[in-house]
Structure 1
Amino acid sequence: MTMYQIVPMMQTQAELIANTWRYEGIYAFYDMDQDEEDMAEFLDFKAREGKVFVVMQREEVIGFCSIQLEEEEAEIGLGMRPDLTGKGLGQKFVSYLVHYIIGAYHPERISLAVAAFNKRAITLYERIGFRHTESFDQQTNGSVYPFIRMVLEIKNLSS
């Protein structure tokens, strides 16, 4: 089994992700430079402090995760290194993040937002147990796009 490690994101790692991670095709939507405000926040140490982490595997950054606690809910954002996407690695990656968050934060539920076009991610999240709870429009990348909010109820997990 591949072990991951979650550690606070260092500035050099934030810059590496923001400046070099480029996704292919429609997934270029997730490139950090697509939204100046998102990129500025991602590169701001104070904005990231205690909320944004890198996922490491054998000294390599393979992904990142933001965790925002609101009452009994952990709202997450995540990204996997572009060369690792679309290869069947996502379920292990996201499952690890979910188990880490449950163990570290003890939320009643975990939520995330995903662009409505991203059927690949939506299918993955559903396999893990997330459920579509609402659709909404989000201002990002210079326009407004449809997004889906998904929630994983921790009490429903049988692991």
Structure 2
Amino acid sequence: MSYTFEIMTQEQAEEIAFNWHYDGDYSFYDMEADKEDLEGFVNAETRGKYTYSVTICNELIGFFSLNKVNDHIFDISLGLRPDFTGKGEGVAFLKSGIEFVKNNYDPEKLTLSVAAFNQRAIKVYRKVGFKDSGTFAQNTNGGTYEFLKMEYV
């Protein structure tokens, strides 16, 4: 599949924020599950110029966000549309995102954080080459959750 990365539009941000709902434990990733995350995502100024919509043939299937830690380290966050999850799409999606970042920003390292319960995503990240670098607790979604920090060099 050929993925296209473009700066996210307001319409796309609202589609993701208000219409993408995940099943079971993965509802943790619904944008509406955390008021602060939701507000940051739907506000174009907060979302910034490093949040990309990912499409296939003009169909929105995911997002890929970058947080510039310094000139050569970027922290990424990403999401696939709910009907694309759990179907083997993650590796190709993530590899495409990494390639996009490499081609446009010349990073030395990429980092990401993932909820420790999300073994499905962790398996994808490890398969692509991310390595565990530590854990931390974070207050979000009305509770405190353990997260795994991962690095890709």
Q: 1:11 maps to which residue? A: 10
Point out where structure 2 has 5 or more consecutive residues left out of the alignment: none
1:146 aligns to 2:116 (yes or no) = no
Which structure 2 residues correspond to residues 33-48 of structure 1 after superposition, within 5 A?
Answer: 33-48=32-47
The count of aligned residue pairs is 152
Determine the C-alpha separation between the residues in 1 that align with 2:147 and 2:29.
13
Note the alpha carbon deviations across 1:79-121, whole angstroms, 9 max, x for none.
0000000000110000000111111111101000000000010
Runs of 4+ in 1 over 3 A off after TM superposition: none
2:66 aligns with: 67
Residue 126 of structure 2 corresponds to: 126
Displacement after TM superposition at 1:49 (Å): 2.2
Distance 1:70 1:37 in 2: 20
Q: Distance in 1 between matches of 2:36 and 2:22?
A: 19
Find the residue that maps to 1:107 and give its secondary structure: coil
SS in 2 for 1:19: helix
Q: Normalised by the size of structure 1, how large is the TM-score?
A: 0.94
Please provide the CA RMSD for this pair.
0.6
Q: Match for residue 57 of structure 2?
A: 58
For structure 1, list consecutive stretches of 5 or more residues without a partner in the other structure: 154-159
* C-alpha distance in structure 1 between counterparts of 2:12 and 2:127, whole Å: 30
CA separation in 2, counterparts of 1:29 and 1:49? Answer: 23
